[in-house]
Amino acid sequence: MRIVIKPNASDAADTCAALIEAALRKTPDMALGLATGGTMEPVYARLRAAHEAGLSFARCSSFNLDEYVGLAGDHPQSYRHYMQQHLFDHVDIRPEAAHLPDGAAADPVAAAAQYDALIGRCGPIGLQLLGLGSNGHIGFNEPSSSLVSRSRVKTLTRKTVEANSRFFGPDETPPHLSITMGIGTIMEASRIVLLATGRGKAQAAAAMIEGPLSAHCPASILQMHTDATVILDEEAAADLA
Ligand code: F6R
């Protein structure tokens, strides 16, 4: 595990976006694994700027980590909508090559299995971008998730539902189920880049990097990956020994 610590969140996002841009320039037809969330917004802003400066997404495919069950792609809080808004609508990625799990599927369990199979057919994912939950989750693989799990329907913990509720209106019930890439699926990516910023991620970052390998901190599995880079700002690195 390679650890990169930057002075602030902006510099950390710069480093993360630069790694993605370099990978895409080197292998334009790569399969790119993408994440959503507040941490990634500045990364996508930088990728949009890189596109304006000539970076093309036309030959790549993308696979997002997760999607809420019960939200159609046009729901403003769906991860499909997030991706359209922050990246896909602004770059030249082919719409049919930009994949997310189908949160609106009539049979979410089957949709999750189909998503895993699709990644298997189109993969391996060349670079998988990850954020970090304050409880140590990656994708929506919450604490106690099997470290060899495949893509599947997962119940979100109360902590995650609460953390995400800031994105939903006062009259809306935030979803309690998701389809997420499994930890085993994520670990098959050739390369992993995790970005975590802010004091709220410090405990989870320390558990991921220095703690025992444990399903209680799903991100700790990255200790076993042969090409994982963790980018932190100083606040997220504050609890490292
Ligand atoms: C989102 C995802 C999640 C987030 C994590 C951090 O696709 O997979 O694991 O990366 O919850 O979210 P933020 O960046 O909002 O703190």
64 is an active site residue: no
- Across the range 66-84, mean pLDDT stands at 94
pLDDT of 101: 98
Any ligand 1 atom below 6 A from CB of 178: no
Q: Which of 62-66, 73-77, 85-89 comes out lowest in average pLDDT?
A: 73-77
pLDDT at 215 over 90: yes
Any ligand 1 atom below 6 A from CB of 66: yes
Amino acid at site 208 = M
Q: Could you tell me which residues are beta bridge partners of residue 154?
A: 178
Q: What is the pLDDT of residues 118-157, one digit of tens each?
A: 999 998 999 999 999 999 999 999 999 999 999 999 999 8
Report d(CA 101, CA 112) in Å as an integer: 7
CB 151 within 8 A of CB 101: yes
pLDDT of 165: 86
Enter the ipTM.
0.99
pLDDT at 172 over 90: no
Q: What is the mean pLDDT of the chain?
A: 96
pLDDT at 168 over 90: no
pLDDT at 91 over 90: yes
Is the model more confident about 52 or about 174?
Answer: 52
CA 214 to centroid of ligand 1, rounded, Å: 19
Any ligand 1 atom below 6 A from CB of 35: yes
96 is an active site residue: no
pLDDT of 55: 98
User: Position of tokens 């002075």?
Assistant: 7
Fold of the CATH domain 2-219: Rossmann fold (3.40.50)
Q: Which atom of ligand 1 is nearest to the CA of 164?
A: 15
CA 133 to centroid of ligand 1, rounded, Å: 6
Q: What is the pLDDT of residues 40-51, one digit of tens each?
A: 999 999 999 999
- Across the range 110-116, mean pLDDT stands at 98
Q: Which of 73-87, 129-143, 162-176 comes out lowest in average pLDDT?
A: 162-176
pLDDT of 162: 87
pLDDT of 99: 98
List own/partner pairs for 16-22 with CB under 8 A and 24 or more apart: 16/43, 16/129, 16/193, 16/195, 16/231, 17/42, 17/43, 17/46, 17/47, 17/50, 18/46, 19/127, 19/193, 19/229, 19/231, 20/47, 20/127, 20/129, 20/193, 21/46, 21/47, 21/50, 21/55
- Across the range 42-62, mean pLDDT stands at 98
pLDDT at 159 over 90: no
CA 45 to centroid of ligand 1, rounded, Å: 16
pLDDT at 209 over 90: yes
pLDDT of 164: 79
Report d(CA 122, CA 61) in Å as an integer: 9
162 is an active site residue: no
Any ligand 1 atom below 6 A from CB of 137: yes
- Across the range 84-101, mean pLDDT stands at 98
8 is an active site residue: no
